[in-house]
Structure 1
Amino acid sequence: MRIGGAQAPCTETVMSAQVTIDHGRIARAFGDEVELLIDAARCVPPETSVPTCPGWTVGDTVRHVGSVYRVAQAWLIDGQRPGDWQREPAPGQSRESYVRQGHADLTEIFEFHDPEECAATWWPRDRTYGFWQRRMAHDTVIHRVDVEAAGGAEPSDIADDVALDGIDEALMLWFGHRLPRLGLRGTRAGTVGVCTGGCGWITIAGPDETAVRRCGNAEARAADVVVSGDPAEVYLWLWGRRGPSAVDVDGADDDAVGQLWALMRLATR
Structure 2
Amino acid sequence: MDFSRHLDCLAADYDRLRAVVGTGADVPVPTCPGWTVADLTRHVGDVYLHKTLAMREGVEPEPWPPAEFAEEEPTALLDRGYTALRAEFATRAPRDPAATWYAPDQSVGFWIRRMAQETVVHRIDAELAAGQAVAPVPADLAVDGIDELLKVFAAYSVAAWGDYFTDVLDGSPGRTVLLRAGDAAWRVRTGPGEFAVTDGAGGGTADVTLSGSPQAVLRRLWNREAAGAEGAVAVEGAIEAAEELRRCIVVATQ
Q: TM-score, normalised by structure 2?
A: 0.89
Q: Do the aligned residues in 1 keep the contact of 2:216 with 2:226 (CA within 8 Å)?
A: no
Q: Which residue of 1 aligns with 2:225?
A: 242
Trace 1:15-164 onto structure 2 (pairs within 5 A). Answer: 21-43=1-23, 45-87=24-66, 93-164=72-143
Q: Do the aligned residues in 1 keep the contact of 2:158 with 2:194 (CA within 8 Å)?
A: no
Residue 55 of structure 1: SS of its match in structure 2? Answer: coil
**Richer in helix (by share):** 2
Residue 224 of structure 2: SS of its match in structure 1? Answer: coil
Deviation at 1:34, TM superposition (A): 1.0
Residue 175 of structure 1: SS of its match in structure 2? Answer: helix
Q: Which residue of 1 aligns with 2:200?
A: 216
Q: Residues of 2 paired with 1:87 and 1:31: CA distance?
A: 26
Q: Do the aligned residues in 2 keep the contact of 1:67 with 1:87 (CA within 8 Å)?
A: no
CA distance change for structure 1 residues 101 and 88 in 2, over 3 Å: closer, same or farther? farther
Residue 99 of structure 1: SS of its match in structure 2? Answer: helix
Which of residues 189, 192, 211 is equivalent to 2:177? 192
**In the TM superposition, what whole-angstrom CA distance separates every residue of 1:112-155 from its partner, at most 9, and x where no partner exists?**
21112222211112111010011111111111111111111111
Q: Residues of 1 paired with 2:246 and 2:214: CA distance?
A: 16
Q: How many equivalent pairs are there?
A: 245
**In the TM superposition, what whole-angstrom CA distance separates every residue of 1:186-237 from its partner, at most 9, and x where no partner exists?**
2321010111132121112122412223x223x1774332111010010011
Unaligned 5+ segments in structure 2 are none
Q: Which residue of 2 aligns with 1:3?
A: none
Q: Do the aligned residues in 2 keep the contact of 1:70 with 1:85 (CA within 8 Å)?
A: no
CA distance change for structure 1 residues 208 and 177 in 2, over 3 Å: closer, same or farther? closer
CA distance change for structure 1 residues 87 and 56 in 2, over 3 Å: closer, same or farther? farther
Q: Which residue of 1 aligns with 2:208?
A: 225
Q: Residues of 2 paired with 1:89 and 1:220: CA distance?
A: 54
After TM superposition, where is structure 1 displaced by more than 6 Å over at least 4 residues in a row? none
CA distance change for structure 1 residues 238 and 89 in 2, over 3 Å: closer, same or farther? farther
- Higher mean displacement: 84-93 or 169-178: 84-93
- Higher mean displacement: 254-263 or 79-88: 79-88
Residue 212 of structure 1: SS of its match in structure 2? Answer: strand
Structure 1 counterpart of 2:176, one-letter code = T
Q: Does 1:181 align with 2:160?
A: yes
Q: Do the aligned residues in 2 keep the contact of 1:41 with 1:58 (CA within 8 Å)?
A: yes
Q: Which residue of 2 aligns with 1:5?
A: none
Which of residues 219, 231, 241 is equivalent to 1:256? 241
Unaligned 5+ segments in structure 1 are 1-20
CA distance change for structure 1 residues 201 and 131 in 2, over 3 Å: closer, same or farther? same
Q: Do the aligned residues in 1 keep the contact of 2:182 with 2:214 (CA within 8 Å)?
A: yes
Q: Do the aligned residues in 1 keep the contact of 2:219 with 2:226 (CA within 8 Å)?
A: no
